[in-house]
Amino acid sequence: MIRLSPRPRTAGARAPRAHAARPLRRRAADPRRALAFAIACAAGLAAGFAAGPHAAPWLWRAIDGPGRAVEAIAVVGHERVDAEAIARRTGVERGAPIDAIDFAAAAAAVAAEPWVREARVRRAPDGTLLVAVEERAAAALLEDAARGAWLALESDGRPIAPVEPDAWPALPRLRSLAPVEPGVPNADAVRALALVGELAAHGLPAAEWIALPLRDAPAAAPDARAASAHGDADIAPAEAGFRAKLADGGAEVVLGDAPAAEQLARLATLLAERPDVARAAARIDLRFRDRAVLLPRDDVAAPAAPATDDARAASADAREPVWGGAPASDEVGARGRERAWMRALALRGAPWTRRDRTSVGGDEEWLARTI
């Protein structure tokens, strides 16, 4: 009988157990694999936090435990609105169960704050309620002359909330004789904001304020003009369009209902060619197609016409148009008189014309003179 001895184990037979253990040891010792595993875990938790109230309930119970109560409310993204005021708007009290919070309702309550554009309410670890807000940005301040209040405006002309008149000195100042609707975008305010940049583009002085047109409010116009300190009540038709008061004691510029680049170019030419005349003007009316009409200041003597204009002015003295009579009590009559005066003035050939106010027999008359 032949007895076979057991087959000796080779190196290859012992290898499986040893090889099976080595990869685990390498995997645990490899810092790159450990870092990737940690990142994957962190990403999973971050995804759960980002999901907020939509995350699976078991995830929050695993982190906070069942029946977790609100221990703190954290507010981020706020600057204008106080954090405590935002926390109060959520309606969530400290100690309330987190599982019972209506996150959408809390966010809507915070977004009702005038200065808040968007709000998000999320659940964070350790019993913390996270409130993230995006605030509105003020692009200008508007004086609502009808209500005697100042409002901050967004870039779309939407009034945000009342502010102090001296808030944000660097922002443009707008004025409105008609009441401004809260929370409603105003197209005229947007056009006025655009005028700020257009004045700078034409090399013109900055505007101390820009007045919005008085549209579709003839009945309220007399009272609004009486309460306004932005212009003479006897030139009411000018208030129907945009007006800009140039800074540093400059004139009030009348631009009409639809300001155009050609008007600003004409104003830049006037300031460059006749700075003496422009400084003596209280109001510069650019509603004419090819000329500017200047109303002199009462306290500044109008400069004499240059020698080149003497012959033309002397030959036109006999045709000097006059707009006579006291201002009309109704808006329609005032606008009709203004249009008649402007048609008469259009007969003049000079690009710069001055109108002087005189008193004849107790009535006021406007005389147009070539500059």
Q: What is the pLDDT of residues 231-241, one digit of tens each?
A: 333 334 556 78
CA atoms within a 13 Å half-sphere pointing along the CA-CB vector of 10: 2
Q: Which of 111, 106, 112, 116 is nearest to 53 (CA)?
A: 106
pLDDT (0 to 100) of residue 270: 92
Report how far apart, in Å, the C-alpha atoms of 131 and of each of 80, 135, 256 are: 15, 13, 47
Is the model's pTM score more than 0.75?
no
Read off the pLDDT of each residue in 292-302 and give the average, rounded to a whole number: 71
Read off the pLDDT of each residue in 308-334 and give the average, rounded to a whole number: 47
Tokens in use for 167?
């808030």
Q: How confident is the model at residue 224 (pLDDT cuts 50, 70, 90)?
A: very low
Q: Pairing between strand 149-153 and 140-144? A: antiparallel
Residue whose token pair is 């005349």: 277
Q: How confident is the model at residue 266 (pLDDT cuts 50, 70, 90)?
A: very high
Q: How confident is the model at residue 324 (pLDDT cuts 50, 70, 90)?
A: low
- CA gyration radius for the chain? 37
Q: Which of 237, 234, 259 is nearest to 339 (CA)?
A: 237
**pLDDT higher than 90, residue 354:** no
Contact 71, 108 (CB under 8 A): no
**pLDDT higher than 70, residue 93:** yes
Q: Pairing between strand 352-360 and 292-296? A: parallel
pLDDT (0 to 100) of residue 240: 73
Return the biggest CA–CA distance within the chain: 157
Instruction: For residue 232, count CB atoms less than 10 angstroms from its CB and return exposed for 0-12, middle for 13-18, buried for 19 or more.
Output: middle
Contact 90, 128 (CB under 8 A): no
Tokens in use for 197?
């940049």
CA atoms within a 13 Å half-sphere pointing along the CA-CB vector of 356: 12
The residue among 214 and 8 whose pLDDT is bigger is: 214
Q: Any idea which of 12-16, 93-97, 205-209 has the lowest mean pLDDT?
A: 12-16
| CA–CA distance, 87 with 84 (Å, rounded to integer) | 5
| pLDDT single digits (tens) 102-122 | 999 999 999 999 999 999 998
Contact 117, 135 (CB under 8 A): yes
Give Cα 139 to chain centroid, integer Å. Answer: 3
Percentage with pLDDT > 90 across the chain: 34
At a CB cut-off of 8 Å and minimum separation 6, what does 354 contact? 277, 281, 293, 294, 295, 296, 302, 368, 369, 370, 371
The residue among 13 and 106 whose pLDDT is bigger is: 106
pLDDT (0 to 100) of residue 5: 47
pLDDT (0 to 100) of residue 34: 61
Q: Which of 331, 337, 344 is nearest to 363 (CA)?
A: 337
Q: Any idea which of 53-62, 172-181, 284-293, 305-314 has the lowest mean pLDDT?
A: 305-314
Q: Any idea which of 125-129, 308-312, 317-321 has the lowest mean pLDDT?
A: 308-312
